[in-house]
Structure 1
Amino acid sequence: MSSHTDEPEPSPHEGEHLPSQRDEHSAVPADDPFANPGLPPHEPRRQDIDEQAAKRSERSVSLLFALSTLATVGFIACYVAIPIDKIVYIWPFGHVSGLNFGLGLTLGLALFCIGAGAIHWARTLMSDEEIVEERHAIQAPPEVKAHVLAEFRKGAAESQIGRRRLLRNSMLGALSVVPLAGLVLLRDLGPLPHEKLRHTRWKKGTLIVNESTAQPLRPEDIVVGSLTQARPDGLDPHDENFANEIAKAAVMLVRLQPEDIKDQRSAEWGHEGILCFSKICTHIGCPATLYEQQTHHALCPCHQSTFDLSDGARVLFGPAGHPLPQLRITVNDDGYLEALGDFEEPPGPSFWERG
């Protein structure tokens, strides 16, 4: 009786890789039944191999940038030449404002041509080869930073911005001119103030009238410790410019005991303890007419700027930048209070040209 050792029969597929035993360098991962096709081979564009085609693309892009420049000039011309009340018929929109239509059309064309020129430049002349890079940490090591700088320089060279001067110069021209459209629109903020902020309706001989009754004021109408709001005579509340004028000319009168007035110049500008100040806060223009009788302080309710009316209306507290301007007053032959001129300083908030 012979003995023998049982051995497993060889597999019919011995020598072949099973799916779980595939080589790690195999193109198909063990857990992915689909192979990664990768990027397709790069195919050069016509402009990459034909300099004449590249020149045509350069001229096309430059033409778009030139059209943008002309459209910006047209925008400015429309703004200057077309009356604001001009109505025109434009199919299919019907009757529209000629100015708005002209501005919208020219500005839209200017921006479109810049965008279209940039896209055409990128698609026909800049490098279009796709490159895949693995993500890296947010803080790149020095060698990666050096690589990025090298790639940036390479990209700048491949964009051909240094080589194709016509394209570069036309683009710079369009980008330089198109901001003029925005500058022109700033004109709609209104006319320049020039000297308007420095002058009010007050002048020598102007009567001071009560804000509530519109009647001229006499010294005896103002008692010690009181505050009276007033305006210049002749300023009609129904006039279309009333709001603009009263915003500069509104005043308040207080009467103090002469010995309570600390500023000698302020006392000389008043009459028998009656002082006249602009009531327009020098912060943002709110009426600073909350009066505290015992301290002679005027408070602005908007941001709590506080002025000492017994000391030339100097600022005691708050964001106001300078004292309330004082109006020099006297009494005329008829016994009414009147101004001896305009404010020495512009009333109201500070502005750029203020000294």
Structure 2
Amino acid sequence: MTENNNNDNNGAGDEKPERVVGTPSASADERVVSEASAENESEHAGPYEPFETHIRPEEQQRRGEKMASAWFILATLAGIAFLAAYFVFPPNAADEPAIADPQISQYSNMLLGGTLTLAMFGIGAGMTVWARNVMPHYEVHSPYDELPSSDEEKGSFSEFFMKSADESGFTKRPLMRRTLIASMIPLGIAPVVLLRDLGPLPRDTLHHTPWENGRRMYVEGTHRALRAEDLENDPNGMISALPAIDDDRYPHGISLDDQAKSVILLIKVPDGDWKEGMNEPVSEGSDETHMNWTYNGIVAYSKICTHVGCPAALYERTTHRILCPCHQSTFDATDAAKVVFGPAHRGLPQLPISVDDEGYLISTGDFAEPPGPTFWEYQRGGGN
């Protein structure tokens, strides 16, 4: 036992002491000491003085300048192509009657997205080449001192900034500088051009829909004209309808915009279920009441919720409630579609209806007020 202990002690003297887990190794200690020494030596060099600088060879800088300029030129051409594609294939070209083609929108999206992506990629690639091949690479040492900077430090920063601008090549490399500026110009114009899609404001266009005196009604999604008895035989007591557009003023049919603002709900209400609100005028100063705008127990309301424009497409026949599924705004069909629950602040506009000589349901005019959300009124210039 004694011999073994002696051997163990001798062996332990030859080996390095065991390091406790979580403590730095000897090599790490040496590295920390050397780094601390370097920091102490660099303290006298100034707060923004580099202590290790790698200047790119002149040949590499010239090659990088040409490569970066090539990327900037590509970005410039792509930006110009983006502007050209916007006007040659405008995003709403498919809606123009003269060039109605379902593939135009696809081509427009591909061209606009592709050219804009290429323009931004070209600028990014050029800046990367610039940084890796033209600008010098160095590390700057700045010790943590008092937060307020002295005048000397502020001056040294200005000197450092101007020196960095000179080293970056922006002032000494006119080809790269000019191509970069040229590539930025189309991208700077692009947002201004895209603002064109945000206007013009609707103004009073939403005050008028395709509904007019004598306009028949089609079941939404079909070309089947409606009769009054269709509501009596319908188990739900509600049918969604659109104006029947088949005249010369609409050679290409009803547009999506017209559909969005003119879609209606036709509801059959039994006698005796109407409320006092139906005897009120449909608009201020009007002699017509809501009841005058019904026909044989059938009433027509705008299907567009006055909250944010979702379709108020649900109807509960037993309570005569119209429900918008988006935010649960609820309207009473027997009381001029007034709001009874939810965030909406305005009832659904009513459409005056009747029947023609052949027994088909028709409108006898337009809505008394613009359909759609209340905030549309502010875009139309009608908000207070």
Q: TM-score higher than 0.5 here? A: yes
**8 Å Cα contact 1:218/1:335 also seen in 2:** no
Aligned equivalents of 1:258 and 1:132: distance in 2?
Answer: 81
CA pair 334-43 structure 1, distance change in 2 beyond 3 A: closer
**8 Å Cα contact 2:52/2:139 also seen in 1:** no
Aligned equivalents of 2:346 and 2:153: distance in 1?
Answer: 55
1:159 aligns with 2:165: yes
Aligned equivalents of 2:302 and 2:329: distance in 1?
Answer: 14
Aligned pairs (5 A) from 1:322-341: 322-332=346-356, 337-341=361-365
Aligned equivalents of 1:264 and 1:100: distance in 2?
Answer: 48
1:205 aligns with 2:214: yes
Which residue is 2:366 aligned to?
Answer: 342
Which residue is 1:285 aligned to?
Answer: 310
Equivalent pairs, count: 303
CA pair 303-241 structure 1, distance change in 2 beyond 3 A: farther
**8 Å Cα contact 2:227/2:359 also seen in 1:** no
Ranked by relative contact order (alpha carbons within 8 Å, sequence separation 6 or more), the top structure is 2
Match among 211, 227, 237 for residue 216 of structure 1: 227
CA deviation after TM superposition for structure 1 residue 326, in Å: 0.8
Unaligned runs of 5+ in 1: 1-18, 21-27, 85-96
Which residue is 1:94 aligned to?
Answer: none
The amino acid across from 1:228 in the alignment is M
The 3-state SS of whatever aligns with 2:120 is: helix
**TM-score of the superposed pair, with normalisation by structure 2:** 0.54
The amino acid across from 1:229 in the alignment is I
CA deviation after TM superposition for structure 1 residue 229, in Å: 2.0
The 3-state SS of whatever aligns with 1:320 is: coil
CA pair 145-261 structure 1, distance change in 2 beyond 3 A: farther
The amino acid across from 2:347 in the alignment is P
CA pair 142-62 structure 1, distance change in 2 beyond 3 A: same
1:253 aligns with 2:267: yes
After TM superposition, the structure 1 stretch with the greater mean CA deviation from structure 2, 323-332 or 62-71, is 62-71
**TM-score of the superposed pair, with normalisation by structure 1:** 0.58
Which residue is 1:72 aligned to?
Answer: 79
Aligned equivalents of 1:118 and 1:201: distance in 2?
Answer: 54
Aligned equivalents of 1:61 and 1:233: distance in 2?
Answer: 59
Match among 238, 241, 260 for residue 231 of structure 1: 241
Aligned equivalents of 1:35 and 1:102: distance in 2?
Answer: 59
Aligned equivalents of 1:348 and 1:333: distance in 2?
Answer: 32
CA deviation after TM superposition for structure 1 residue 304, in Å: 1.1
CA pair 270-152 structure 1, distance change in 2 beyond 3 A: farther
Unaligned runs of 5+ in 2: 1-15, 18-25, 39-49, 92-105, 247-251, 283-289
- RMSD of the alignment, in Å? 5.6
The amino acid across from 2:338 in the alignment is R
Which residue is 1:115 aligned to?
Answer: 124
CA deviation after TM superposition for structure 1 residue 275, in Å: 3.0
Match among 38, 42, 45 for residue 53 of structure 2: 42
Aligned equivalents of 2:302 and 2:200: distance in 1?
Answer: 23
CA pair 221-336 structure 1, distance change in 2 beyond 3 A: farther
The amino acid across from 1:42 in the alignment is T
**8 Å Cα contact 1:277/1:327 also seen in 2:** yes
CA pair 104-336 structure 1, distance change in 2 beyond 3 A: closer
Sequence identity of aligned pairs in percent?
32
Which structure has the bigger radius of gyration? 1
Aligned pairs (5 A) from 1:19-58: 32=30, 36=34, 42-45=53-56
The 3-state SS of whatever aligns with 1:42 is: strand
The amino acid across from 1:71 in the alignment is A
Which residue is 2:323 aligned to?
Answer: 299
Structure with more helix by fraction: 2
The amino acid across from 2:78 in the alignment is A
Aligned equivalents of 1:192 and 1:55: distance in 2?
Answer: 49
Aligned equivalents of 1:100 and 1:30: distance in 2?
Answer: 57
The 3-state SS of whatever aligns with 2:215 is: coil
CA deviation after TM superposition for structure 1 residue 344, in Å: 3.7
The 3-state SS of whatever aligns with 1:231 is: strand
The 3-state SS of whatever aligns with 2:140 is: coil
